[in-house]
Every structure is written in C-alpha cells, then in structure tokens.
C-alpha cells in the first residue's frame, strides 16, 4: 500500500490533503516512529482486516500522538468495523470539533451516521463534503445510495449519473447507475454485474434490499425481480433469496396481470371492485337479466382465478427452482 493512502468512508482511498493522514512525515533522527509511520502500518493492517493487531498498534501510537487526526480516524474505523459504532461516532465528532475540515473524518462519519440510521445527519455531512469537494465522484455516488435508501429515486438517479460523469472508474458510481437502470428497465443494465459491485460495496447490497421492498410495495415487480436476481448471484445458495426471486417471478408473470390492481392497492382495490360489481349488477338487472347472469358468471370465474391460480403458479415456479 502506498504511504500516501488513508481511510476514506470505511475503505482506503487516495488522500485529499497531506495533513489528513498525520502532520508528521518520515522517521525522526533518533529512530522513533512518527505519526505518519504508525499510520502507514496501521492502515496496512486494516486493509488486510487484521483489526486486533491494528488496535494494539493504535494504542501504542495514540499514546505518543493522542491528537493526531489520521490516527484518530484509523481508531474510529477499527471501532466501526468491530461494531462499536458509538465509540467511532464520538471519536470522529471530537476530532471534528478541533479540525472541522478533516476530510477523512467527515467521510467516515457519513458511514457511521448511516449505520446509526441518522440519515439526515449523513445527508448534511455529504452536502458539506460536496460543497468543499465538488469533483468528488465517490461522494456523489454515496449520496445517490443514500437517496435510494430514503426512496428519493429520481434524485438518486441524477446523483448517480453525475458521480459516473466525474469518475467513470468508480465502482460505487457504477453500482448506483446500474440500480437506476434496473429500476427503469433499461436494456443493457445487466451487462455489468451488479452482484460483483455489491460484493465490493456492502452498503449497496443493503440499499438493494430496501429498494426491492419499496418496489414491491409500489407494484413494480419486474424492477424488483431484476435487482433480486443480482442478489441471488451474490448468494447463489441462499434459500431466502431464491424464494424471493420465485415470489417476484410469480408476481411479474404475464398471466398475473389481471390481478395487478389488487396486488398494487390491496384492500382499497378489493373494496372498489366490490362496489363496482354491485353497481354493475344492479344496473344490469333492471335492463337485462341474461346480461346480468353472464356478468355474474364472469365475475365468479374471475374470483375463482384470483383465489386458486396464484398459489398454483407459485407452486409450479418453486418446483422448477428446486424449492
């Protein structure tokens, strides 16, 4: 790892400012490690996920340089990935109270806020970062993912396109654009593997799961199925994900189209259907009993279809999938 690398939002990214990775550089004349030397070693351990070793070295380094920003960010990162989100948040907030413009601290705090479900705070921090770094495509991609999570889909897709324009090589930007393309059903969206991108960026996997739930609630089953298929590629042996794909395959099947209003609006559609049926039969009974009888048969057939067919289709699809 290059000695100029430092932590960025939970992963290693090129540094934005030299001061962010520690103010001291090189080894002192008496052979004592500087804060920068410690930072290089600690970041290398974090990159290899050797968090226990990183934690031990951090204790030694912070004993000598307790105010160093780069070391404090590394300490917060280790706490964050170890599940101590409160400690990570407190460490970063304390650092930012002294160094409010520290890039790595602000970037990592976005991830911490999202993990704590403090989404408005995460958005505010991202807006501040983009104000100071308007060319940071990666931060635009993170903002897009946050907007997907809060279900502001149109805004998310605009942010994703801007992220990809600024940094065409950024994987998170590509993942954000792919999610938008899949929602819209654009051809070619599946050419790049969203599953691979989700494997490299776990936050996009969580966003994808939330989007599936949202799309199902909106009756957009085909879009939800496209994203669920990518999840299945990521977890090919997961029975839960396979059942989700089968369920969405049933809901989006062409033969289920007559039931779409009931799937989309639930009890509201059922009540409306009941009222319309009563009105129609009442009006027809005064004009033509034969017509009313014919409509009654059609409605009975439709009711039988709605009660029996979905379960039969689902059972057949499960058998085909090996469930």
User: Which CA distances in Å does 188 have to 69, 113, 192?
Assistant: 44, 34, 8
Inter-residue contact 89 to 109 (CB < 8 Å): yes
Token pair belonging to 40: 């290089």
Q: Output the pTM of the full model.
A: 0.64
- Where is average pLDDT lowest: 103-112, 173-182, 213-222, 275-284? 275-284
What pLDDT was estimated at residue 285? 63
Q: Output b/e per residue, 288-301; b: 16+ Cβ within 10 A.
A: eeeebeebeeeeee
Q: Is 50 exceeded by the pLDDT of residue 44?
A: yes
**Dihedral of alpha carbons 233, 242, 179, 128, sign:** negative
186-245 per-position pLDDT tens digit: 655 444 556 666 666 666 677 777 778 878 877 778 888 888 887 888 788 888 888 888
120-138 per-position pLDDT tens digit: 999 999 999 999 999 999 9
Of 251 and 87, the one with more pLDDT: 87
What pLDDT was estimated at residue 214? 77
Residues 100-118 have a mean pLDDT of 93
Cβ atoms < 10 Å from Cβ of 102: 22
If pLDDT is split at 50, 70 and 90, which confidence band does 96 have?
very high
Inter-residue contact 116 to 85 (CB < 8 Å): yes
Inter-residue contact 109 to 96 (CB < 8 Å): yes
Cβ atoms < 10 Å from Cβ of 32: 9
Cα separation, 285 vs 263, whole angstroms: 30
Inter-residue contact 144 to 159 (CB < 8 Å): yes
Cα separation, 61 vs 45, whole angstroms: 14
Share of the chain above pLDDT 90, in %: 27
What pLDDT was estimated at residue 21? 42
Residue 6 backbone phi and psi in degrees, to 5: -150, 170
146-200 per-position pLDDT tens digit: 998 888 989 999 999 999 899 888 888 888 888 888 787 765 544 455 666 666 6
45-68 per-position pLDDT tens digit: 988 889 899 899 999 989 889 889
User: Which CA distances in Å does 108 have to 10, 16, 81, 88, 240?
Assistant: 6, 14, 11, 9, 32
């Amino acid at each position: 790892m290059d000695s100029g690398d430092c932590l960025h939002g939970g992963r290693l990214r090129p540094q934005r400012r030299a001061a962010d990775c520690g103010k001291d550089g090189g080894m002192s004349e008496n052979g004592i490690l500087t804060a920068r030397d410690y930072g290089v070693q600690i970041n290398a351990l974090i990159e290899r996920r050797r968090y226990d070793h990183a934690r031990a070295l951090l204790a030694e380094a912070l004993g000598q340089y307790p105010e160093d920003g780069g070391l404090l960010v590394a300490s917060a990162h280790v706490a964050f990935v170890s599940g101590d989100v409160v400690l990570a948040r407190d460490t970063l907030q304390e650092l930012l109270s002294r160094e409010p413009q520290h890039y790595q601290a602000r970037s990592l705090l976005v991830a911490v806020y999202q993990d704590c479900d403090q989404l408005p705070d995460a958005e505010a921090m991202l807006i501040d970062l983009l104000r100071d770094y308007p060319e940071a495509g990666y931060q635009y991609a993170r903002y897009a993912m946050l907007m997907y999570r809060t279900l502001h889909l149109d805004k998310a897709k605009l942010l994703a396109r801007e992220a990809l324009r600024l940094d065409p090589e950024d994987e998170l930007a590509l993942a954000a654009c792919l999610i938008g393309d899949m929602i819209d059903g654009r051809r070619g969206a599946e050419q790049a593997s969203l599953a691979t991108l989700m494997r490299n960026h776990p936050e996009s996997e969580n966003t994808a799961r939330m989007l599936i739930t949202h799309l199902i609630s909106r009756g957009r089953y085909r879009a939800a199925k496209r994203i669920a298929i990518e999840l299945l590629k990521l977890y090919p042996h997961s029975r839960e994900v396979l059942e989700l794909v089968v369920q969405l395959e049933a809901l989006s099947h062409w033969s289920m189209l007559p039931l779409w209003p009931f799937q989309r609006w639930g009890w509201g559609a059922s009540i409306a259907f009941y009222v319309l049926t009563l009105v129609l039969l009442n009006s027809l009974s005064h004009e033509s009993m034969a017509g009313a009888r014919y409509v009654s048969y059609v409605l009975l057939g439709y009711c039988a279809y709605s009660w029996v067919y979905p379960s039969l289709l689902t059972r057949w699809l499960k058998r085909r999938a090996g469930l």
